[in-house]
Amino acid sequence: MTAPSTRRGEFACISAIGLLALPFVARTAAPGLFGGIDPRAFLLLACLAKLAFEGWGAFLAHRCAAGFEPGTNVRRAWRLLSLGLLGFFLAQLALARYQIVLGTQSPFPSLADVFFLAAYPLLIVALACFVKAYEDAGFPMGTASERWTLIGLVTGLCLLLGYPILAPVARTEAPLLEKVLNLAYPLLDLAMLVPTAFLLRVTLRFRGGNVQRVWMALLIGVLALAGGDIAFACFSTLEVAQLESVVDALFIVSYGCFALGALAQEDLLNR
């Protein structure tokens, strides 16, 4: 794929993310407008959109990995990112039986959570490998004191914002496994945000540059994933029905942005 066609692919990906997430945003903002539409149509659209972005993102990340020298941290990072997205794809595939075939909400917890839980560590290590690759390339990562300060700031901010939302989830009388999972996913997102903050700190030096496109897409993907997990915890445990469409919109944006980041990296490799 040539650079111009890759850029067209990025534009098409952004358009697809917006168009696929829009119905769920609109359904949240004005639920009365969709009263005549079978809810199963939204289940079908959400499931297919997630599968498409997860599968495509995994494929693109695998292809990016092949563009780097064997044994390098950046190649390892893209390979792990590909495997993490593949884990999300397999998890969504496990949910597809309920959402597509049966046209109903999938149970929680379920087999899909095995794949989801396996995917998060892969993504976390992938982001850490990206940080290491930047360090190996000679980019300034800050002193040890600055690094710990950044970790503390990110952790503190996440806890400050997350506690008021997740504390009610922890206090519910939901089944123990359900409660543990609803708390585990946002905590895993927190672990993802720490290396992402380091990557953002470095790439902000390339304001408007091509490298920044990759990491801004991945950053939005991580943030949307964290938002989706928190919204899902409130939806499933606190039974806040209005959040159902918010969850779908955020996960579509998240998986779409992971694929977009890989597309942007392909553009760099093709230059």
d(CA 239, CA 16): 30
Which token pair is 271? 């230059």
**Within 172-243, where are the H helices?**
176-203, 210-237
pLDDT of 269 over the 90 cut: no
d(CA 58, CA 82): 4
Q: DSSP labels for 90-106?
A: HHHHHHHIIIIII-SPP
pLDDT of 41 over the 60 cut: yes
Q: Are 110 and 94 in contact (CB under 8 A)?
A: yes
- pLDDT for position 6: 59
Which token pair is 144? 């040890």
pLDDT of 7 over the 80 cut: no
pLDDT of 78 over the 90 cut: yes
What angle do the packed helices 73-96 and 39-66 form, to 10 degrees? 160
**Within the chain, where are the H helices?**
3-29, 39-66, 73-96, 112-136, 144-171, 176-203, 210-237, 244-269
Quickly state the pLDDT bin for 238 (edges 50, 70, 90): low
Q: Are 248 and 190 in contact (CB under 8 A)?
A: no
The arithmetic mean of pLDDT across residues 216-237, rounded, is 86
Residue span of the structural domain in which 173 resides: 3-269
Residue with tokens 């914002």: 161
Q: Which residues in 164-174 are b (16+ Cβ under 10 Å) and which e?
A: eebeebeeeeb
d(CA 88, CA 109): 15
The arithmetic mean of pLDDT across residues 54-75, rounded, is 93
Q: Are 255 and 88 in contact (CB under 8 A)?
A: yes
From 1-5, 56-60, 80-84, the region with the lowest mean pLDDT: 1-5
State how many domains the chain has: 1
The arithmetic mean of pLDDT across residues 224-246, rounded, is 81
The arithmetic mean of pLDDT across residues 132-142, rounded, is 76
Determine the residue type at 34. Answer: F
